[in-house]
């Protein structure tokens, strides 16, 4: 068995963190590491104890939700809260950091940024990273390593099975497909 690479391991961690996001618009996760050890993680969501976007919708001003704290900031703040140094650390993020997070990453001393998805990559953020000698690299997640879209896939399978049944496909054949899907989705079809 071949072991998962460090890049994929940490990017998978960031994608798992994103599953905790309370933002309706975009789920983002971030993992800060040093010496191949996770030192902090964050996801985008509201201030602790406050109302979440999933509860009352996004609070949008000038096209941005002002209710959420970004994943990168949550991870950096976690380090600050617990006294964990971020100097020369690396950060893995599900999406390219926004301009404000870019500045926080630079100020925190993080020297490498790995991101999986392009997202409104701001030219000034790219310029700031370059000027600060922060290495930035796109590392796409190999989605076969973790399941990040299970609910969507499950709904797709349910819809297909129903359409097969509605189209008059042999009941036994549909049942075989149902049994196979059930085993793949751990009895949740």
What are the φ/ψ torsions at residue 60 (nearest 5 degrees)? -95, 125
Distance between CA atoms of residues 12 and 16, nearest Å: 6
Q: Which of 2, 72, 87, 126 is catalytic?
A: 72
H-type alpha helices, the chain = 6-18, 53-56, 71-82, 99-108, 123-131, 150-166, 171-184
Q: Using CA atoms, how far apart are residues 150 and 32, in angstroms rounded to an integer?
A: 26
For this structure, is 118 an active site residue? no
Give catalytic residue positions.
72
């Amino acid at each position: 068995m071949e072991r998962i690479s460090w890049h994929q391991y940490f990017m998978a961690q960031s994608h798992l963190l994103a599953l905790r996001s309370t933002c309706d618009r975009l789920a983002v996760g971030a993992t800060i590491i040093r010496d191949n050890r996770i030192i902090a993680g964050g996801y985008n969501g509201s201030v602790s104890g406050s109302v979440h976007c999933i509860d009352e919708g996004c609070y949008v001003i000038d096209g941005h939700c002002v209710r959420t704290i970004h994943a990168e900031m949550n991870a950096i703040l976690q380090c600050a809260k617990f006294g964990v140094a971020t100097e020369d650390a690396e950060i893995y993020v599900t999406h390219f950091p926004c301009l404000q997070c870019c500045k926080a990453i630079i100020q925190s001393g993080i020297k490498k940024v790995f991101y999986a998805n392009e997202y409104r990559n701001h030219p000034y953020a790219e310029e700031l990273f370059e000027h600060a000698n922060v290495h930035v690299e796109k590392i796409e997640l190999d989605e076969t390593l973790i399941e990040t879209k299970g609910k969507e896939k499950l709904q797709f399978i349910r819809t297909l099975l129903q359409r097969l049944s509605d189209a008059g496909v042999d009941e036994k054949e549909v049942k075989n497909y149902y049994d196979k899907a059930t085993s793949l989705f751990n009895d949740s079809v």
